[in-house]
Structure 1
Amino acid sequence: MKYLVMVQGSEADYEAMVGRGSAGSPAWDKTQLKTMFEHMNAINTEVTAKGEMLDAQGLAAPSKTRFVTVDGEGRPVVTDGPYAETKEVLAGYWLLDCASLDRVTEIAAQVARCPVPPGSPEYAVVIRPVDETGPSQD
């Protein structure tokens, strides 16, 4: 079964990773960044070797976000950047094909154990099954 495994973050976390810490998100140093990337790359290597990896991507900072809606006449309305009240955003994901929910939960637990600087915010790792039922054939 396919699962989307998502990690969350905030604009402050992205700033902290480039050395600009804040009250709720301490600055990362180069060693901490290297350790984090090594941890994530080890997960990628494992799930790839087991044939479970379909895709994985880290996402750009929330400040690069673009929201597209339509107005009453169907014309696009574009807003750049996240809304000020946005606390958490999708920071990255894995699309995995795993034999069971237990297996994907093991992988999510590995992701959750990613080393971060002391005092960093903690985010749950989110697992969402991919709905592969397709459109109704009524």
Structure 2
Amino acid sequence: MAKYLLLKHYRGAPACANDVPMDRWTQEEISAHMKYMHDFAARLEETGEFVDAQALAPEGTWVRYDGAGRPPVTDGPFAETKDLIAGWMVIDVDSHERALELAGELSAAPGKDGEPLHEWLELRPFLSAPPTVTE
């Protein structure tokens, strides 16, 4: 088994034809999207592939130690882009191919007018220790 992180990005401006900013969705469209996400996670819980998931608030802050005592703080989450990470899901699957399959399915979550978003998801494997050689 290998763990992967699925990062769900939100863009303030559309990234594709089906990517209408969520502030222009109806409450029913938001509910349908959230139900899809919940049902997807519930199905993966049944197969043992779900580890954890969380939606994130749009507010954020960048913090970096500067060596002078008080860290500089920048309102964020990103200083120079309208993109932000809207949420994440951790899956534990048998193969990279399975991780790709699940990411593709999650990309089809419904958006405005119930149409699949076809959104880009960032799929990142967890860093693992290199294999040890035993003789």
With the shorter chain as reference, the TM-score category is 0.7 to 0.9
Cα distance in 1 for residues equivalent to 2:126 and 2:117: 28
With over 3 angstroms needed to count, the CA separation of the structure-2 counterparts of 1:132 and 1:28, relative to structure 1, is same
How many residues get paired? 124
Cα distance in 2 for residues equivalent to 1:26 and 1:123: 16
Alignment correspondent of 1:44? 41
TM-score, normalised to structure 2, is 0.78
Alignment correspondent of 2:6? 5
Alignment correspondent of 2:73? 78
- Runs of 5+ in structure 1 lacking a partner? 14-22
Cα distance in 2 for residues equivalent to 1:82 and 1:101: 29
Q: Map 1:67-106 onto structure 2 (within 5 A).
A: 67-106=62-101
Aligned-pair identity in percent equals 31
1:125 is aligned to 2:126:
no
In structure 1, give the amino acid aligned to 2:33. Answer: M
- Runs of 5+ in structure 2 lacking a partner? 15-19, 131-135
Q: Is the 8 A contact 1:24 1:121 kept in 2?
A: no
Aligned equivalent of 1:34, options 31, 46, 51 = 31
Aligned equivalent of 1:54, options 33, 51, 54 = 51
Give runs of ≥4 in structure 1 deviating > 6 Å: 23-26
What is the deviation of 1:83? 4.3
Q: Is the 8 A contact 1:26 1:117 kept in 2?
A: no
Q: Indicate the SS of the match to 1:113.
A: coil
